[in-house]
Amino acid sequence: MELLRLSKAAKRLGVHPVTLRLWADSGKIPVTWVGRERRFSSIDVEAMKVSTGGEGVRLEGLYVRVSGSHGGGNPCFRRRRRSCGPPRRARSSRSSVTGPVACGRTGPV
């Protein structure tokens, strides 16, 4: 029986070391203390690998942001959180191109 350090045991299980530390704290996997370090039995690690299907447990989440009916959220906060004010002035005197402003209106760029 080999005693594995936290990082090596986590790598064998395919999980993050913090996850393995939490599992040890909750009693899901036995831990042996060597001084101030946690060590995990290679037998326990292999048993945990078999019980989790050979790879780490993956809990994936999905985040979806739902906007309003106009499709872009609040148009005043689209870029750099500018308020809806008068259209911006041209950056240089030779620029006369108009385009969208932060609030969605068109005006000089």
Whether the full predicted model's pTM is greater than 0.75, yes or no, is: no
Report angle CA 77, 87, 94 to the nearest 5 degrees: 125
Give the model confidence (pLDDT) of 45-59 as tens digits. 998 887 766 554 556
What pLDDT is recorded for position 22?
Answer: 94
Beta bridge partner(s), residue 33 = 38
CATH 3.40.50.720 holds for 3-51: no
DSSP of 11-51: HHHTS-HHHHHHHHHHTSS--EEETTEEEEEHHHHHHHHHH
Domain spans in the chain, listed from the N-terminal domain onward: 3-51, 72-109
Helices 42-51 and 6-13: crossing angle in degrees, nearest 10, is 30
